[in-house]
């Protein structure tokens, strides 16, 4: 990491890069934007999909004790009564008697309105759930809520999953999906918004083994971020104090990331005990227990919940990857994204816009696209094109030059070291596959050689 960049302007630069290169746009921008809502552009959607895929692979695909689920955003309103959200999912708000702006009482520094110094009302609880109406009549009976977390969709399907998969304890259910919270204080780009995506695991265990599984998931989830390239010094575990614990939690830790605005929550890991299954069984009148074959007794499992934010993870990966390096008289902006997360895995760059070079390049581009997301750039000098790919985190660039027409070889350049290899075009796919799965760049494929300045 270079010393050129201070934390203060890192966020500003990232927001500008995301906007300029098509990662993230303000929502409804042509109408002036919609506060704290964001649209993912062509590169952002790839990055976000890659984050979700890396999570799904780690927590579902590669394990035999996890299954997935995709539940609806609108749920029966009684779900939110039983879960405690109708009663307790609120922030204390005060209103200015002069300008009528509202503020979070627990975040205010003084006792007057920060905007106009007007007198403030007494705090009132403000529920964070978005309300809407189901069907054509807008009355109290048709009120439904946009879910504020995906977790409840998992709890209410516990019995369905047990019956259809015959999973034995301990096992988990994973879900990725949109959640909505009418947050009072938003900001810091995509860190806190009103519409966001969560990646949640509800891991069901026998009571008494919950502490051991809680510790297991703390380590597992921390390792996931480290394996995808987040620097250890930028991650920490923070235990919730008794006063901070949510109404359902027996124990909770946050995985915090050192964002440019300071240490902030990336993921929460909670021991929810049997709170949710007991509550939903009581409210619905349906049994949500599990027949333990060893003891032949019905038990209510305890739940360990690692709950991560997709958007916050995207922001953390971007912050951690962003760097500015001195480069002769200029500055090279690089996103050192892990190859699994990079929007494009490779870009094909023909040295000239003319035939027959472009024909060869287009054939390679078409061929590699069968396996990966691939960029193609023919505009301006090769140096500028490398910089453009560095800035969006493309791990490898392939250059086709006039010599390629003679020797049927191309140059492959690594983003981080900027080193280059000359390799047979016929070896490109295999070489890329090997490098993208972690092979050292120095290892040459058959017929390959080190290129200038290696």
CB neighbours of 207 closer than 8 A, spacing ≥ 6?
Answer: 273, 274, 299, 300, 301, 302
Q: By CB under 6 A, name the one of 44, 153, 177, 268 that touches ligand GAP.
A: 268
Work out whether strand 235-239 and strand 24-26 pair parallel, antiparallel, or are unpaired. Answer: unpaired
> Considering only 309-317, 352-360, 386-394, 428-436, which stretch makes contact with ligand GAP by CB under 6 A?
309-317
Least distance from C-beta 43 to ligand GAP, angstroms? Answer: 20
**Which residue number, 126 or 372, has a Cβ lying nearer to ligand GAP?**
126
**Which residue number, 84 or 123, has a Cβ lying nearer to ligand GAP?**
84
Q: What stretch of H or E contains 237?
A: strand 235-239
Report the distance separating Cα 255 and Cα 316, nearest Å. Answer: 12
**Which residue number, 280 or 345, has a Cβ lying nearer to ligand GAP?**
280
Kindly provide the residue ranges of all beta strands, DSSP E only, lying in 328-383, ordered along the sequence. 330-335, 346-350, 374-376
Q: Is 174:60 a contact under the CB 8 Å cutoff? A: yes
**Which residue number, 39 or 183, has a Cβ lying nearer to ligand GAP?**
183
**Which residue number, 14 or 266, has a Cβ lying nearer to ligand GAP?**
266
Work out whether strand 251-259 and strand 24-26 pair parallel, antiparallel, or are unpaired. Answer: unpaired
**Which residue number, 46 or 197, has a Cβ lying nearer to ligand GAP?**
197
Number of chain residues interacting with ligand GAP (CB under 6 A): 19
DSSP reduced 3-state for 7:
helix
| Cα torsion 346, 350, 353, 354: sign | negative
> Considering only 48-56, 193-201, 277-285, 353-361, which stretch makes contact with ligand GAP by CB under 6 A?
193-201
Q: By CB under 6 A, name the one of 171, 196, 214, 386 that touches ligand GAP.
A: 196
In the complex, which residue's CB is closest to ligand GAP?
309
Report the distance separating Cα 323 and Cα 13, nearest Å. Answer: 10
CB neighbours of 71 closer than 8 A, spacing ≥ 6?
Answer: 150, 153, 154, 156, 157, 175, 177
- Can residue 267 be called a binding residue for ligand GAP (CB under 6 A)? yes
Least distance from C-beta 150 to ligand GAP, angstroms? Answer: 7
DSSP reduced 3-state for 312:
helix
- Can residue 276 be called a binding residue for ligand GAP (CB under 6 A)? no
Q: What are the CA-CA distances from residue 28 to residues 6, 33, 36, 56 (Å)?
A: 31, 5, 11, 30
- Can residue 307 be called a binding residue for ligand GAP (CB under 6 A)? yes
**Which residue number, 272 or 422, has a Cβ lying nearer to ligand GAP?**
272
CA angle (36 as vertex; 244, 100 as ends), nearest 5: 80
How many C-beta neighbours within 10 Å does residue 287 have? 11
Q: By CB under 6 A, name the one of 49, 56, 126, 183 that touches ligand GAP.
A: 183
Q: By CB under 6 A, name the one of 46, 91, 95, 200 that touches ligand GAP.
A: 200
- Can residue 192 be called a binding residue for ligand GAP (CB under 6 A)? yes
**Which residue number, 186 or 358, has a Cβ lying nearer to ligand GAP?**
186
> Considering only 112-120, 210-218, 266-274, 340-348, which stretch makes contact with ligand GAP by CB under 6 A?
266-274
> Considering only 3-11, 264-272, 329-337, 401-409, which stretch makes contact with ligand GAP by CB under 6 A?
264-272
- Can residue 193 be called a binding residue for ligand GAP (CB under 6 A)? yes
Work out whether strand 346-350 and strand 302-309 pair parallel, antiparallel, or are unpaired. Answer: unpaired
- Can residue 198 be called a binding residue for ligand GAP (CB under 6 A)? yes
DSSP reduced 3-state for 437:
coil
Work out whether strand 346-350 and strand 330-335 pair parallel, antiparallel, or are unpaired. Answer: unpaired
- Can residue 265 be called a binding residue for ligand GAP (CB under 6 A)? yes
> Considering only 76-84, 161-169, 192-200, 288-296, which stretch makes contact with ligand GAP by CB under 6 A?
192-200
Residues making contact with ligand GAP (CB under 6 A): 149, 151, 181, 183, 192-193, 196, 198, 200, 265-268, 305, 307-309, 311-312
């Amino acid at each position: 990491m270079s010393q050129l960049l201070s934390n203060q302007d890192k966020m500003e630069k990232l927001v500008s890069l995301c906007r300029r290169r098509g990662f993230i746009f303000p929502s409804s921008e042509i109408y002036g934007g919609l506060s704290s809502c964001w649209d993912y552009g062509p590169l952002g959607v790839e990055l976000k999909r890659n984050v979700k895929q890396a999570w799904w692979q780690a927590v579902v695909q590669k394990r035999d004790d996890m299954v997935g689920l995709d539940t609806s955003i609108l749920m029966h309103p009684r779900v939110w009564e039983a879960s405690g959200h109708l009663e307790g999912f609120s922030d204390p708000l005060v209103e200015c008697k002069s300008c009528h702006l509202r503020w979070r009482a627990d975040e205010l520094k003084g006792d007057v309105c920060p905007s106009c110094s007007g007198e403030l009302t007494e705090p009132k609880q403000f529920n964070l759930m978005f309300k809407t109406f189901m069907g054509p009549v807008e009355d109290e009976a048709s009120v439904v809520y946009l879910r504020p977390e995906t977790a409840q969709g998992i709890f209410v399907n516990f019995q369905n999953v047990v019956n259809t998969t015959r999973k034995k304890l301990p096992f988990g259910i994973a879900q990725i999906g949109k959640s909505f919270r009418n947050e009072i204080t938003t900001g810091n780009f995509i860190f806190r918004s009103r519409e966001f995506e969560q990646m949640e695991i509800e891991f069901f265990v026998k009571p008494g083994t919950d502490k051991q599984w809680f510790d297991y998931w703390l380590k597992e989830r921390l390792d996931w971020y480290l394996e995808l390239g987040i620097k250890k010094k930028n991650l920490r575990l923070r235990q919730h104090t008794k006063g901070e614990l949510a109404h359902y939690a027996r124990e909770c830790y946050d995985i915090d990331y050192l964002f440019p605005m300071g240490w902030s929550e990336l993921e929460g890991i909670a021991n929810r005990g049997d709170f949710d299954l007991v509550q939903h069984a009581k409210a619905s009148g349906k049994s949500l227990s599990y027949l333990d074959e060893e003891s032949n007794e019905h038990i209510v499992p305890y739940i360990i919940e690692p709950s991560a934010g997709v958007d916050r993870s995207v922001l953390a990966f971007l912050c951690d990857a962003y760097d500015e390096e001195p480069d002769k008289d200029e500055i090279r902006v690089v996103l050192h994204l892990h190859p699994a997360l990079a929007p494009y895995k490779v870009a094909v760059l023909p040295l000239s816009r003319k035939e027959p070079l472009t024909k060869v390049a287009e054939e390679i581009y078409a061929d590699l696209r069968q396996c990966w997301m691939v960029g193609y750039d023919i505009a301006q000098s090769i140096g500028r094109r490398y910089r453009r790919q560095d800035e969006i985190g493309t791990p490898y660039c392939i250059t086709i030059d006039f010599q390629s027409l003679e020797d049927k070889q191309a140059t492959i350049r690594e983003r981080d070291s900027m080193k280059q290899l000359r390799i047979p075009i016929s070896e490109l796919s295999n070489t890329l596959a090997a490098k993208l799965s972690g092979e050292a760049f120095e290892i040459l494929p058959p017929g390959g050689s080190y290129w200038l300045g290696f």
